[in-house]
Chain A
């Protein structure tokens, strides 16, 4: 049985049907005028051979102007699967996503450079030394492969995490461009039995990571049936450009038939128009161009409509994931994907705040709630991510898990039907006839049934705020829980057949 997502029965929609169609038409117009600039020759050849108009562009880097006719896009939308399965080492963790069904899965990510450690030093009041408080201090440092193992381990045990995108970029001294992919895949897969999605650092490593996955599941056919890994590629650089290396990776992943996210991340104000109609028309055109290319490479390639739109900060022109408009764009993209009946990869929870705290909670919860309400299938809700895409904090991921539990509860459908109302009328009449007029005794049958939401799990006692300390305790509890590692025999085979994995990641060797 695959995992159950959060089914949003009546998803929140910002756009009318007419507005969705207008965006679609505008995107089609963009794809023919101005079209896209491709820096990847193979993509140009593929598109050209199927009827796209191609023209060489003068400049330092070789590139081509590609104009994609509407018919080609529509055919690609037809051939793209409307249901996509993302498998998992533990088959019970598989995710099955239907493009027309707003069932939300919650996913970690993304690949940050900085890992935030937490400590709780004690401070003494100068005026009254008998008064002490413990204050969380956050210390940033470069992420390592050990951090990635820890993160995958904790995310295995976070109840609300449905799938794992590695949260931290591994920057150990012995990690190179050549061995980064095999190590990040192995560290993640060995510590987490949920679906694993990743970008690829080096195209040369694609076959090694695919082979690793085949060894784990039992062969090529087994991987087709249970694709425990999938890929995300930002083949489009906004505005409207196919990047050479990521497009090459995208094409090769499609050839292998593995699930892939066609992702675009325009920034409203700099790489896309600041106005909603403009960024929506452009991002939709960019994603449709990627989907078209993928379906031409291999019809039926499972793709997710990937959207990571963001608004620019006006003070720095950097990303502002905490801005309200960012959530609006993401909700619009969910609607566009649903219009095409394709599963959607959407983004929430990424915040501008640099450390956990009030700003982080407010920014994250705001976008997590509203974007989840729109019903994306694959919600990259960025457990633990801070400072846009730069920092990961495991403590924050633990907090996010608790917050998503509240959101999950909130999105449950109301039970209001005739039998329920009749039972309630009976209850009201009974209680009103009693001297105390209290309904409390009716609570008890529901208390432990899951029908009543729990108290905030990190609530302090009295007037103290112990949220961080309690979440930290929880984090350590989760780290102490065992995870189901890849077994000894398969691990040995992986180390035998896949070059470049760090020996210290072989838990069986380090144990002995």
Chain B
């Protein structure tokens, strides 16, 4: 029975159904419980959060990633699945914290000062949350001082900076300088993205990695994780 619920969670992640109101790709799922309802059922059935995460949520996202790679799935499919996983993680977070289970890492993300463009930043936030990271979205037009404060206070493992404009992308370099001045540069990996920036720009300002899109961000974090284990 418990295995059935976990397998159904995985299936619903693949279908991209956060709740029972959501439509999946397969019409036969219509009206059946989605990821949120199933995770609650699983907890009521005393299934451990670790099993829910590894065999349900992560296993489902693994399939979604494969389908995206073969062009069977598109970004809206990935986002729907990631939103489902993100909602499940919100339910599981207090239980994980009380049992001292660590998340995959803390990720602070912001669109830099002077820039209000946030589509890319929002997509990255959804995908990373769906990938199991604890995401703190600081919003748009965020001044360097606020970002420094958050890094000091919350100690995120990763900092994602986004800018669309060639004028505002320079702010990213200022933030990295401020991190250095505050002796925090080695405490946090800095990822940058946005239409105006590039790999060369990332190197120029001393960022750790340039991410062309949200999937590159997920891969970059996985690569950091592999490098440290």
Contacts and interface: CB of A to CB of B under 8 A. Distances in A.
A445 interface: yes
Chain B: number of interface residues, binned into ranges: 10 to 19
A448 interface: yes
B122 A444 contact: no
Contacts of A441: 76, 79-80, 83
A444 B75 contact: no
A447 B77 contact: yes
B83 A444 contact: no
Contacts of B125: 436
Chain A: number of interface residues, binned into ranges: 10 to 19
Interface string A204-235: 00000000000000000000000000000000
Interface string A419-441: 00000000000000000111011
Given A443-B76, A447-B74, A447-B76, A438 B83 contact: no
Contacts of B75: 440
Interface in A390-447: 436-438, 440-441, 443-445, 447
B79 A440 contact: yes
A170 B174 CA distance: 71
Interface in A430-476: 436-438, 440-441, 443-445, 447-448
Contacts of A437: 118, 122
Contacts of A440: 75-76, 79, 123
Contact of A436 (B23, B74, B76, B122): B122
- Most chain B Cβ neighbours within 10 Å, of A437, A444, A448: A444
Interface in B124-163: 125-126
A83 B154 CA distance: 76
B193 interface: no
B26 to A, nearest CB: 11
A448 B76 CA distance: 12
A445 B80 contact: no
A436 B123 CA distance: 9
Contacts of B195: none
A495 B156 CA distance: 81
A436 B109 CA distance: 13
A444 B119 contact: no
Contact of B25 (A436, A438, A443, A448): A448
Given A436-B122, A440-B76, A445 B23 contact: yes
Contacts of B80: 441, 444
Interface in B58-76: 74-76
B150 to A, nearest CB: 18
Interface string B8-24: 00000000100000010
B111 to A, nearest CB: 13
Given A444-B76, A447-B77, A448-B25, A438 B16 contact: no
Contacts of B123: 438, 440
Given A441-B83, A447-B77, 14 more contacts: A436-B118, A436-B125, A438-B122, A438-B123, A440-B76, A440-B79, A440-B123, A441-B79, A441-B80, A444-B23, A444-B76, A444-B77, A444-B80, A448-B25
What are the 7 A-B residue pairs with the smallest beta carbon separation, nearest first? A443-B76, A436-B122, A440-B76, A444-B76, A440-B79, A445-B23, A444-B80
25 contacts: A436-B122, A436-B125, A436-B126, A437-B118, A437-B122, A438-B119, A438-B122, A438-B123, A440-B76, A440-B79, A440-B123, A441-B76, A441-B79, A441-B80, A441-B83, A443-B76, A444-B16, A444-B23, A444-B76, A444-B77, A444-B80, A445-B23, A447-B74, A447-B77, A448-B25
